[in-house]
Structure 1
């Protein structure tokens, strides 16, 4: 069975797996040298690809936590891997491995994986939000992933907000900037700690404001939340919708579906689906 070697590269960890039309193989996890030099990060990517590439792989598809010029797979900048910027990643990988390569922002991969493989159809206009170390997002309009002219579409986390940007209030940074651990605060809130619950209420207010901008810009049918913080959705759902209602028209909010992701490894599945979309005849080859 032929497949595509898919990689989900994050700021701290990477997942690697061969994906075929039958689904995911065994997923392997690696720690990312996020503070390494540009050369060290690239060497790490070469190493994990080399470790898992085999004769059944017809290509390589990566989701990276970066601003990506999708047309040529050029890495513009990567906030959580500070030295990894201005990298012609697609060109380098094609040259080294002699296979077709697709490179996308990791939030685009998450969004497209959810759209294609999650339980969301019929749904033509769709937004995916990843709530982790930062806030990433992807947009599907009329059934197609929308990346914009330069690959920056959906960078809602960089919108100006209060004394900074949206990401500082609507991601793991909200807790980190207060010297707190989001996972620990979630555990305490689940056990009834009022102070911790108040933090998540505040988080929901900020995220609700961010989603109101998305709602007014794209009017999606559904917004799906991924990333580690989405696991605590029950702690901020109420304040999120209160904030949404305050900043958006009642009709839009009443028709909007917001839910946490239920699809495991959505970014890897999204990388696979994007490879099929962008590489000529890939689907026919994978179908044998």
Structure 2
């Protein structure tokens, strides 16, 4: 059994992975984000009660660029005190078990590939839509992070006058319509035509993000997660409409676009970082080894 931690800009979620399920789960808002010591103490205090379950390792997903080898996180999104945190060393000193750190959306992609809708695909991209837009890349059954754990930042590609993330994340609703994605979702569910029009416009922008993924990685599947995924039915049609000008229509025909159906999938992916590291250690001479 391994502990998985999903650390967001506003919340922390911790649980134990056992046979592809999360047990003993705890979640809460992240407190005193301007204090590194306070936030680290909160993380440690969440882990402590789970250590009596025979845990073998800890995996943690963080919304930042990560030095994966050394477990150092930099400039964590929405946690101003986390400029450079040697998270692996801190937690290994505290608990004396192996700790592995990666980007949170990479953990989402790993979770889908190991335990979720991505199990049937060798090449897939997980796209998480929330406050921002991130992607995790699986190529030939292996997570691809790039040299600096920066691969998959599709949202930061230039688009219109800003970048893709500005238009294809929750930021779209606050920037252009002075509302939130949640309120727009509730209004659309109630049949409000203005909200439905907003989601229709959003879908055109998200379609551009999908096209960027297709031109870059050409995966078998894209799996959509994050808080805005629940609104997929409201932007699906306009997203697909945006594909009409895609240069390679055969790619669109073969593409599988799925919506994540497991709210714990990022937590499962974080826990799987431990097994992934052990598998890699045992197969370093085998370039075809999978996750």
Q: TM-score normalised to the size of structure 2? A: 0.91
Distance in 1 of aligned mates of 2:196 and 2:247: 25
Structure-2 change in CA distance of 1:210 and 1:11 (3 Å): same
Matched, 1:191 2:183: no
Equivalent position SS for 1:96:
helix
Equivalent of 2:126, from 125, 128, 131? 128
CA distance, structure 2, for counterparts of residue 78 and residue 210 of structure 1: 23
Counterpart of 2:163? 165
2:6 to 5, 8, 28: 8
Q: 41-50 or 144-153, which moves further after superposition?
A: 41-50
Distance 2:160 2:280 in 1: 48
For residues 55 and 232 of structure 1, do their structure 2 counterparts lie closer, same or farther at Cα, with a shift above 3 Å needed?
closer
Aligned to 1:205: 204
Is the contact between residue 157 and residue 165 of structure 1 (CA under 8 Å) also seen in structure 2?
yes
- Deviation readout 1:160-207 (Å, 9 max, x if unpaired): 222222111111111122320211111211222111111111111111
Q: Deviations over 1:246-288 (max 9, x none)?
A: 24421111111112101230011112222101036999xxxxx
Matched residues in 2 for 1:101 and 1:121: separation?
25
**By how many angstroms is 1:45 displaced?**
1.4
In the alignment, the residues of structure 2 paired with residue 79 and residue 119 of structure 1 have an alpha-carbon distance, to the nearest angstrom, of 27
* Structure 2 Cα separation of the partners of residues 30 and 282 of structure 1: 34
Query: What is residue 222 of structure 1 aligned with on the other side?
Result: 221
C-alpha contact 1:245 1:253 (8 A) present in aligned 2: no
> Which residue is equivalent to 2:276?
277
Give, in whole Å, the separation in 1 of the partners of 2:44 and 2:213. 36
Map of 1:286 onto structure 2: none
Instruction: Describe the SS at the equivalent of 1:53.
Output: helix
Counterpart residue number, 1:246: 245
Greater mean alpha carbon deviation, residues 200-209 or residues 73-82 = 73-82
Where 2:238 maps in the other structure, the secondary structure is helix
> Which residue among 78, 82, 101 is the counterpart of 2:76?
78
Is 2:118–2:223's contact at 8 Å kept on the other side of the alignment? no
Q: Deviations over 1:202-241 (max 9, x none)?
A: 1111111011011011000000110110001000001111
Cα deviation, residue 129, structure 1: 0.8
Q: 2:265 maps to which residue?
A: 266
Structure 1 pair 22–145 and aligned structure 2 pair: CA distance change class (3 A)? closer
Contact 1:100–1:279 (8 Å) recurs in 2: no
Specify whether residues 278 and 175 from structure 1 end up closer, same or farther in structure 2 by C-alpha distance, changes over 3 A only: same
Report the equivalent of 2:49. Answer: 51
**8 Å Cα contact 2:59-2:272 kept in structure 1:** no
Alpha-carbon deviation of 1:8? 0.8
Aligned-partner Cα distance in 2 for 1:82–1:206: 29
In structure 1, list runs of 5 or more residues that go unmatched: 284-288
Equivalent residue pairs, number? 281
The one of 136, 152, 166 equivalent to 1:154 is 152
Compared with structure 1, are the counterparts of its residues 146 and 50 closer, same or farther at alpha carbon in structure 2 (3 Å cutoff)? same
SS, match of residue 48 in structure 1: helix
